[in-house]
Amino acid sequence: MSFLELEDVQTYYGESHVLQGVTLDVEEQEIVALIGRNGVGKTTTLRSILQLTPPREGTIRYKGEEIGGKDTHEVSNDGIGWVPEERRMFGYLTVEENIRVAVKPDDDFEAQREYVYSLFPALDEFSEKEARNLSGGQQQMLAIARGMVGQNELLLVDEPSEGLAPMIVDQVVDALETASEDTTMVLVEQNFPLAMELADRFYLIDHGTVVESGSTEGVTADDERIRRYLSA
């Protein structure tokens, strides 16, 4: 039994058949990268796991339990965190309030806050600042921190390096590596070298289905099986 298992997941947006039978599995403490061109279904795979866009067919098991059909907040409360594309901060809330929203009501907020501030000291410095006034890199830190609180054991991370300067990307990589010490991670990332650097294994998605998979060890963008699907 894997930590997370997707089996023949079929997801639609209206009549548009986006995921056409995605099957993959993730082991505990692994980082698994989903790679592929724009619009092939990577983000939809994450949204399907969270039941934000519930699949019409197929099964999704998390720690052995079928989570298909649950509400998103129930899936989240099972321990699945989300670091969405474009970060989606609550811009008019402070950094601390953004973290407060993510901490489960029964959890110790003080302890959770200290935990994320110890991982990301820069956030402590800006704790009273509204999130919309943070830089892109700071917002990404906050998005990762927000995904990590709430006792999450699985983190779904979508395009963490998008729109960030190279120097800031290095900080984000450090943050993700820190996060991965405590959580299992599914990473969607357009930056191929970055995805290979961070992940243990990869799944290459094309037209809503997995076309290649394997260890990231030694894989480069020049690899023929990768180049065929990633080139425009």
Partner 1 sequence: MPIELATEVPLVIETLERLFQPSTIARIIVEGLGKAAVYFVLAVGLTLVFGLMGVLNFTHGAMAMLGAYIGGLVMVLSVSDGTDALVRIALFMVVLAVVFALLTGFGSAFEYSLIRPIYDRTPMYQILLTFGVALILEEVTRIVVLSQGIQPEPPWSGAMGTAPAVFTERYDILGAPIRGLYAFEIVLGIVAVVGVWLFLNRTLYGLYIRAGSEDPEMVEALGIDVRQAFTIVFGLGTGLAGIGGVLLMWDPLWGPSALLAIDVLLYAFVVVIIGGLGSFKGTVVAAILVGIADSFTTWLFATGIVTFTGLPELTIFGLLVIMLIIRPQGLYGVEEVGGH
| Contact set with partner 1 (CB under 8 A) | 50, 52, 71-73, 76-77, 82, 84, 88, 90-93, 97-98, 100-102, 104-105, 146, 150
Q: How far is CA 33 from CA 21, 50, 134, 192, in A?
A: 18, 17, 27, 9
Whichever of 137 and 150 has its CB closer to partner 1, that residue is 150
Whichever of 50 and 205 has its CB closer to partner 1, that residue is 50
Pairing of strands 154-158, 4-13: unpaired
Other beta carbons within 10 Å of 66: 11
Tell me how far apart the alpha carbons of residues 134 and 152 are, in angstroms, rounded to a whole number: 25
Q: How far is the CB of 44 from partner 1 (least distance, A)?
A: 14
Q: How far is the CB of 92 from partner 1 (least distance, A)?
A: 6
Tell me how far apart the alpha carbons of residues 46 and 44 are, in angstroms, rounded to a whole number: 5
Q: Which two tokens stand for residue 47?
A: 């949204």
Q: How far is the CB of 184 from partner 1 (least distance, A)?
A: 17
Tell me how far apart the alpha carbons of residues 35 and 38 are, in angstroms, rounded to a whole number: 9
Whichever of 149 and 194 has its CB closer to partner 1, that residue is 149
Q: How far is the CB of 101 from partner 1 (least distance, A)?
A: 5
Whichever of 92 and 166 has its CB closer to partner 1, that residue is 92
Whichever of 103 and 219 has its CB closer to partner 1, that residue is 103
Pairing of strands 16-26, 4-13: antiparallel
Q: How far is the CB of 204 from partner 1 (least distance, A)?
A: 26
Q: How far is the CB of 105 from partner 1 (least distance, A)?
A: 6
Whichever of 158 and 204 has its CB closer to partner 1, that residue is 158
